[in-house]
Amino acid sequence: MVDVGDDAPDFTVPLADGDVGSFTLSDRLDEAPLVFAFFPAAFTGTCTNEMQTFRDRIENFESVDAAVYGVSIDTPFTLNEFRRQNDLNFPLLSDANRTLVDRYDVSMDFASLGVYDVSKRAVFVVDDDGDVTYKWVSDDPGVEPNYEEVQSAAASAAD
């Protein structure tokens, strides 16, 4: 399990930023602090609200030079459409192969719906040394993060 003070597990996944590219954590540390907002699935109520809230608060993160990335198991093509429909002003990472949910230990099942191995709602902040400086994980997919706390954590990681 990844915890505050640990080295963030490195990964390479598809990047959905209007196009489809590639994102490797170790190659992006110069953008730090990095805020990774894991969410279970695009086009669902709470997930949409969460990503729209990050969208509406993006200036607070940019003011401390933090980069925000949403992370879900959806394909990059689905995530690009989700970005477009919700006017998201930050990129999304496609974890369709479950690399991040496994490495960051944030996998959960919606057994009653027959959906397995999706991401819990979680937020990690990674500094320019690749260290995890903030972690929040919810076992309840209906609970959103404390956005002010995430902003403070990003600001602290920038110092």
Phi/psi of residue 90, nearest 5 degrees: -150, 155
- For the chain, the farthest-separated pair of C-alpha atoms sits apart, in whole angstroms, at 44
- Tokens 């972690």 locate to 135
Confidence of residue 116 (pLDDT cuts 50, 70, 90): confident
Identify the DSSP state of 67: E
33 preceded by a cis bond (ω within 30 of 0): yes
Query: Which pLDDT tens digit goes with each residue over 36-58?
Result: 999 999 999 999 999 999 999 99
Query: Which pLDDT tens digit goes with each residue over 62-97?
Result: 999 999 999 999 999 999 999 999 999 999 999 999
What's the pLDDT at 97? Answer: 95
Residue type, 74: D
What's the pLDDT at 120? Answer: 94
Mean pLDDT of 1-28: 96
- Tokens 């990844």 locate to 2
Q: By the 8 A CB rule, do 67 and 33 touch?
A: yes
Identify the bridge partners of residue 20 per DSSP, sorted by sequence position: 16
- Tokens 């002010």 locate to 148
The percentage of residues in the chain with a pLDDT greater than 70, rounded to a whole number, is 99
Identify the bridge partners of residue 21 per DSSP, sorted by sequence position: 15
What's the pLDDT at 25? Answer: 97
Query: C-alpha distances in angstroms, 151 versus 6, 57, 98, 115, 116?
Result: 20, 9, 26, 31, 31
Mean pLDDT of the chain: 95
Q: Would you kindly state where each structural domain of the chain is located, as residue ranges? A: 30-158
Q: Is the pLDDT of residue 123 over 90?
A: yes
**When comparing pLDDT for 116 and 139, which is higher?**
139
CATH for the stretch 30-158: 3.40.30.10
Separation of alpha carbons 158 and 133, rounded Å? 10
Chain mean position to CA 40? 10
